[in-house]
Structure 1
Amino acid sequence: MKTQWIFISILFFGLLTAIFAAINTEPVNVHLIFTDMQLPLIIIILSSTLLGGLILGLIGMSKQYKLKRTIKQLEKQLNEAQMAHAVPSSAIPTDSAPLPLTYAAPEKLPSSEL
Structure 2
Amino acid sequence: MNKQRNFVIALVIAIVLVIFALFNNDPVMINFVVASIKLPLIIILFICILLGALVTYLFATTGNYSTKKELKAMQGKVEQLETQQDQAIEAAVAENSEQFKAQLTEKDKEIENLKAELTDKTNTAAPKA
TM-score range, shorter chain: 0.5 to 0.7
Task: Name the structure 2 match of 1:65.
Answer: 65
Report SS of the residue matched to 1:34: coil
Matches within 5 A, 1:33-112: 33-87=33-87, 89=90, 92=94, 93=97
Gaps of 5+ in 2: 1-5, 102-129
- Tell me, yes or no, if structure 1 residue 30 matches structure 2 residue 30: yes
Give the distance between the partners of 1:67 and 1:79, measured in 2 at CA. 18
Amino acid at match of 2:83: M
Contact 1:26 1:40 in 2 (8 A): yes
TM-score (structure 2 length as normaliser): 0.54
More helix per residue: 1 or 2? 2
- How well do the aligned residues superpose, as a CA RMSD in angstroms? 3.1
Give the distance between the partners of 1:19 and 1:60, measured in 2 at CA. 32
Give the distance between the partners of 1:50 and 1:82, measured in 2 at CA. 47
Number of residue equivalences: 88
Q: Are the structure 2 counterparts of residues 22 and 47 from structure 1 closer, same or farther at C-alpha, using a change threshold of 3 Å?
A: farther
Q: Are the structure 2 counterparts of residues 75 and 19 from structure 1 closer, same or farther at C-alpha, using a change threshold of 3 Å?
A: farther
Amino acid at match of 2:68: K
Q: Are the structure 2 counterparts of residues 17 and 58 from structure 1 closer, same or farther at C-alpha, using a change threshold of 3 Å?
A: farther
List per-residue Cα deviations over 1:51-99 (Å, max 9, x = no partner). Answer: 1111111111111111111110110011111112223656624896xxx
Give the distance between the partners of 1:37 and 1:46, measured in 2 at CA. 15
Gaps of 5+ in 1: 1-6, 97-114
TM-score (structure 1 length as normaliser): 0.61
List per-residue Cα deviations over 1:1-38 (Å, max 9, x = no partner). Answer: xxxxxx9xxx69x7455543342001111101211121
Q: Percent identity?
A: 24
